[in-house]
Amino acid sequence: MAGEFIGPVLLWLAVIKALQLGTWPALDRTLGSLAAAAAYPASVLLFTLLSWYCGLLGLPIWLALLPFLAAIVLAGSRGFYTRERLRPALPWDLAFLVPFLFMLEVRWINPTISYAEKFMDHAFIASIMRQPIVPPLDPWYAGGTLDVYYYIGYWMSGVLGLASGVSSTVTFNLVLPTVLGLAVVSLYALGHLLLDRYRWLPVLLLFIPNPSAIYHIAIGDSWFDVLWGSTRTIANTINEYPLFSMLWGDVHPHVMSFFNQGFLLFLLVFAYMRWGTLSMRGRAILCGLAALALGSMPGINSWDVLVYAPVTLVFGLLIWWRYGNLALDKKRSWMMLAVVPPLAIAAYLPFYLQLDSPGIGGIGIVPTPSEPVEFLLVHGFFLAVLVASCARDIRKRPYLLLAAVPFMLAGYPAAAVVAIPLVYLLARRRFAATDTLAILGLLIVLITEIIYLKDNMGETYFRMNTVFKFYLPAWILMGTASLAIVGEWLQSVRVGRRMPAGMEKVLPALAVALLLAAPFAINVGFGYGSHTLDGAAYLEGSHPGDAAAIAFLRDLPGNHIIIEAEGGDYTYYSRISSFSGIPGIIGMPFHEYMWRGDGGRISERSADVRTIYEQPSRTVDLARAYNATLLYVGVEERDRYRVSIPADALELIYDARGVQIYRIPA
């Protein structure tokens, strides 16, 4: 069964490589030996942006490929792709390919679009691939679009699927391998800036669990409980870390953003460390890349920009201070600060103008902060490294420990823990790249202990989204800094104690072998495994009627709106719109309520769907009110409703395996 997916995977990889090859020459003079690495994430972001504008202007998506292909031809004619240049770049290809293959194995073992947010994730991808228009159609709200949500990550996924000719149900399982590969390349490149040896260490932040997972292993929990329990450690919140997010398998905004976070940090640190050596052209390219990464964040995962816009401003100020002494100097060291933010907004300006999201409802003070033990079970590894790195400073100036006292007195003990390494790093006032990353990560977790962003998650889970969405950037910032510090410690070991050169080559090969064997050694199937890359393949066994009908609908030409049963969130209902990409009247109503609020009249739509199925005298007129063209009657519809439809007034266009699909007359 695996053999039938070799072709789609190779086509997908060919598109990724073509994008990278087309972008690499433009970055070569600016980024030097790191250009081939940066070209991987940069090219995917650039292709996403260009294809999005094609969709906005009503142009074919494939036109976005032409600039990359033209760049390859031009660079090739000038002799850019020589053996001398390609061979040193091979490690970057492997840095992408190895984690890609690791996640491909994980997705092959457990590919099903069947639980958590997967129905939603695929529904958005399928909708975009069926009709790549801007803004995309909302598959769960007929007549509405995805302008209520940050959908650019789904757009990226969908257009890569269209460009490679891969179906949406296979595309779904190629996205996370791609995200992980791009994230590894970005962090490995960042490691080249921060470390002279052990440059792979920052990559580990993507593969290590939090201390809570170790605790759950120690008490003998099952594998599933280890993963789930370690991400629900702080009461009434979600504390995901990258390894869990990848294994869990939701193609969700907070996961798709990993690579872009790493890429932006690479660019900011590169600018901070090498601005003085760059030409004016190089500085402009670096600003453009940073604007591309930062400008993509609100569309991929809007929460990230609340972190990385300030991060960008901090690095912009540091660059200006380091190279221009905060003056209008000849090196234009103020460019990162003055050019990147407005250019980032301009990149996706139509997206912001179209956005109709309710946003947040304000800022609140956290009344019940994290318990210290729970907090340390989430952040303990990185905090331990950061505190240890400040040990000498603590001995010299122990009085700075008093910085924790105000937080203790105010009832925020976890914030008091964070304040200790934070105040010592600030007191150093050296603001090296590693220190700055650590300071920024610590500030995030400190702030989220004290304030939260108000949303509609209710009183019990008032803090859930704030912790969930901000802890992941904090993990990446603190993880990068902590692992770089570990690398500095290892580098400081006397030469005689250093690892033999041969061993340094053997260990990476062993690590690769273990990584690729790991998915088969541990349970990553969670009981859903079906050993395929087609996320809908399981329907053949569990829902054969739906499987055949969905295949029919996916090939049905024309623009349609379909009526199907609605049965709440995180259920198998709304499966036809999810798997086909054809919009339904209403699906997963709480999600739609979160995006549209009371103005969406969500409960009214759910009631209308019931009426369509149960009151034949109103079926046609009510269906027409939503411009519906198709009516689906399957097992779920019969279980959910007392189905009584006016079959004589409808055109039966499909009848097989207990499923009927009717065309509603215009």
Tens of pLDDT, residues 617-660: 999 999 999 999 999 999 999 999 999 999 999 999 999 999 99
Grade residue 55 by pLDDT with cuts at 50, 70 and 90: very high
Q: How far is CA 445 from CA 51, 160, 231, 383, 665, in A?
A: 36, 35, 16, 11, 57
Grade residue 456 by pLDDT with cuts at 50, 70 and 90: confident
Mean pLDDT of 554-577: 94
Q: Which contiguous run of DSSP H or E holds residue 286?
A: helix 280-324
Q: Coil, strand or helix: which one is 451?
A: strand
pLDDT at 459 (0 to 100): 84
Mean pLDDT of 350-377: 92
Phi, psi of 221 (to 5 degrees): -70, 160
pLDDT at 500 (0 to 100): 65
pLDDT at 371 (0 to 100): 96
Please write down the long-range contacts of 332-335, taking CB distance under 8 Å and 24 or more positions apart. 332/280, 332/283, 333/275, 335/283, 335/284, 335/287
Q: Among candidates 649, 642, 636, 645, which has minimal Cα distance to 549?
A: 636
In the predicted model, is pLDDT for residue 266 greater than 70?
yes
In the predicted model, is pLDDT for residue 358 greater than 90?
no
Mean pLDDT of 230-247: 96
Residue the block writes with tokens 């240890």: 388
Q: What DSSP string runs through 12-43?
A: HHHHHHHHHHHHHHHHHHHHGGGHHHHHHHHH
In the predicted model, is pLDDT for residue 602 greater than 90?
yes
Grade residue 496 by pLDDT with cuts at 50, 70 and 90: very low
- Counting residues of the chain whose pLDDT is more than 70, the rounded percentage is 98
**Peptide bond preceding 135 in cis form (omega within 30 of 0):** yes
The rounded distance, in Å, linking the Cα atoms of 442 and 202 is 17
Average pLDDT, the chain: 94
Whether residue 461 contacts residue 238, with contact meaning beta carbons closer than 8 Å, is answered with no
pLDDT at 495 (0 to 100): 45
Extract the tokens encoding 313. 């401003």
The rounded distance, in Å, linking the Cα atoms of 581 and 563 is 13
Whether residue 19 contacts residue 38, with contact meaning beta carbons closer than 8 Å, is answered with no
Grade residue 509 by pLDDT with cuts at 50, 70 and 90: confident
The 10 Å CB-count burial string (b at 16+, else e) for 84-100 is eeeeebeebbebbbbbb
pLDDT at 501 (0 to 100): 62
Q: Among candidates 42, 11, 51, 10, which has minimal Cα distance to 24?
A: 42
Bridge partners of residue 562, in order along the sequence = 584, 630
Q: Among candidates 259, 147, 236, 196, which has minimal Cα distance to 460?
A: 236
**Alpha-helix residue ranges (DSSP H) falling in 78-167:** 83-109, 118-130, 152-164
Cβ atoms within 10 Å of 648's Cβ, excluding its own: 6
Mean pLDDT of 194-202: 94
pLDDT at 265 (0 to 100): 98
Bridge partners of residue 659, in order along the sequence = 656
Q: Coil, strand or helix: which one is 504?
A: helix
Q: Among candidates 9, 98, 214, which has minimal Cα distance to 514?
A: 98
pLDDT at 504 (0 to 100): 65
81-119 pLDDT, tens digit each: 999 999 999 999 999 999 999 999 999 999 999 988 999
Bridge partners of residue 452, in order along the sequence = 364
In the predicted model, is pLDDT for residue 209 greater than 90?
yes
Extract the tokens encoding 605. 């739509």
pTM for the model stands at: 0.96
Q: Among candidates 40, 67, 42, 39, which has minimal Cα distance to 53?
A: 67
* More confidently predicted of 157 and 522: 157
Whether residue 520 contacts residue 105, with contact meaning beta carbons closer than 8 Å, is answered with yes
- DSSP-derived pairing of the beta strands 630-633 and 562-563: parallel
- DSSP-derived pairing of the beta strands 363-365 and 451-453: antiparallel
Grade residue 494 by pLDDT with cuts at 50, 70 and 90: low
**Alpha-helix residue ranges (DSSP H) falling in 390-456:** 391-396, 405-409, 413-428, 433-450
pLDDT at 499 (0 to 100): 59
Grade residue 361 by pLDDT with cuts at 50, 70 and 90: confident
Extract the tokens encoding 298. 């609100």
The rounded distance, in Å, linking the Cα atoms of 131 and 145 is 12
Grade residue 172 by pLDDT with cuts at 50, 70 and 90: very high
Say if residue 327 is exposed, middle or buried (CB neighbours under 10 Å; 0-12, 13-18, 19+): exposed
Whether residue 301 contacts residue 254, with contact meaning beta carbons closer than 8 Å, is answered with yes
The C-alpha R_g of the chain, in whole angstroms, comes to 26
- DSSP-derived pairing of the beta strands 562-563 and 451-453: unpaired
**Four-point Cα dihedral 39, 98, 529, 129, nearest 10:** 20
The rounded distance, in Å, linking the Cα atoms of 192 and 211 is 27
Phi, psi of 632 (to 5 degrees): -105, 130
pLDDT at 15 (0 to 100): 98
The rounded distance, in Å, linking the Cα atoms of 126 and 120 is 10
In the predicted model, is pLDDT for residue 497 greater than 90?
no
Whether residue 81 contacts residue 21, with contact meaning beta carbons closer than 8 Å, is answered with yes
Extract the tokens encoding 2. 């695996």
